[in-house]
Homo-oligomer: A and B are copies of this chain.
Amino acid sequence: MKYAVGVDVGGTNIECGILDELGNVLIKRKYPTKPERGVDAILESIAVTLEQLSEEAGIAAHDIEVIGLGIPGLVDPEAGISLRAVNLNWNQVPVAAKLRAITGKPVFIDNDVRMYVYGEAVAGAGRGHDYVYGITIGTGLAAAFVQRGEIHRGHNFMAGEIGHVPVDHGTFACGCGRIGCLETIVSATGIAKQAQTRIELGEASLLSEWFPDVKDIRSSDVSRACLAGDDLSRDVLEQTGRVLGRALAWVVPTLSPDVIVIGGGGALAGELIFAPMREELNHRLLQDYRNHFAIKSAELSDDAGIIGSALWALHQHKQG
């Protein structure tokens, strides 16, 4: 049996796992990234963790064929370089070469959202679909497209950043320095922010009974309040779904996916967001496109990143 390692490097936590060729997670561990210690210490910590994990799982080091890493920000997967990862303070870091030097294994890297969507595409909600468009609604919003098992990266490996297109009536400041980007509405942060802002402007909500300080409201609270009958929360989730639907109305005819997989914390609201999204989308699509694709929740939850990284690394390694 051959094994692969999948690593999801986040600004807060690193998750490492050892998987079999089918994408089953045999053992995994999550630990704090501590970006301030620098890239070499972080990569060293990954190598040490892998040694420990393989020992614990009784997997011989030589049976681990390959290592895959998902890294936030801009990645050059062909050169194995992290071009820019703001949260990690990485710039032009040759991650693949460095980790290969420590571990002796072939290392493949790509953007973390692409690895997540690849995992869902081949082993999660996209299984059996040829054209998988995946979105993660988390702190921000990003997307990736997997076509017949290959990841679309585009020029400069930059395909997928649809979270920073301004939307109508968007007024919130975005982390990118501009105003009203899609992800200021359609993200876990955006959902919480919409509720907070409307309550601060005087609208009534169950949430203000639950939270004396509106700043404590999280997107999951908005879903919870909606299910408890709160009108404001229902409206926030509906608006979020509609804004996403209007964005996807451009993506669907551009790519023609046969499934849209939606993951990330903000997607846990499920149909509370998906139903208005679907309505808006169908209203805006040509008859031919309507309902010719599925809309699904991500299935692998937190493991999608390590599963995608490991399976993509195996796939790349096979292709030589």
CB distance from A283 to the nearest CB of B (A): 8
Specify which of B152, B155, B251, B287 is in contact with A130 (CB 8 Å cutoff): B155
> Which B residues touch A74, using CB under 8 A?
288
- Residue contact B284 to A162, C-beta cutoff 8 Å: no
- Residue contact A164 to B286, C-beta cutoff 8 Å: yes
> Which B residues touch A287, using CB under 8 A?
176
Residue of B nearest to A83 (CB): B288
CA distance A250 to B159 in the complex (A): 11
Question: Interface readout for A145-169 with B: 1 if CB under 8 Å, 0 if not?
Answer: 1010000111111111110111010
> Which B residues touch A166, using CB under 8 A?
249, 284
> Which B residues touch A257, using CB under 8 A?
154-155
CB neighbors of B among A267-308 (8 A): 284-289, 292-293
- Residue contact B254 to A158, C-beta cutoff 8 Å: no
Specify which of B156, B165, B284 is in contact with A250 (CB 8 Å cutoff): B165
A253 at the interface (CB under 8 A from B): yes
CA distance A287 to B159 in the complex (A): 14
CA distance A227 to B159 in the complex (A): 37
Residue in A131, A157, A251, A286 with the greatest tally of chain B CB atoms within 10 Å: A286
A48 at the interface (CB under 8 A from B): no
- Residue contact A254 to B254, C-beta cutoff 8 Å: yes
> Which B residues touch A293, using CB under 8 A?
155
CB neighbors of B among A120-177 (8 A): 130-131, 143, 145, 147, 152-162, 164-166, 168, 176
- Residue contact A250 to B251, C-beta cutoff 8 Å: yes
- Residue contact A154 to B131, C-beta cutoff 8 Å: yes
A258 at the interface (CB under 8 A from B): yes
Specify which of B145, B165, B256 is in contact with A249 (CB 8 Å cutoff): B165
CB distance from A247 to the nearest CB of B (A): 7
CB distance from A261 to the nearest CB of B (A): 14
Interface residues on A, range: 35 or more
> Which B residues touch A204, using CB under 8 A?
none
A255 at the interface (CB under 8 A from B): yes
CA distance A162 to B155 in the complex (A): 21
- Residue contact A253 to B162, C-beta cutoff 8 Å: yes
CA distance A131 to B249 in the complex (A): 22
Residue of B nearest to A181 (CB): B286
- Residue contact A159 to B253, C-beta cutoff 8 Å: yes
- Residue contact A162 to B254, C-beta cutoff 8 Å: yes
- Residue contact B250 to A158, C-beta cutoff 8 Å: no
What is the interface of chain A, defined by CB distance below 8 A to chain B? 74, 130-131, 143, 145, 147, 152-162, 164-166, 168, 176, 247, 249-251, 253-258, 284-289, 292-293
Additional A-B contacts beyond A131-B155, A161-B286 (5; CB < 8 A): A152-B255, A153-B256, A158-B288, A161-B288, A250-B251
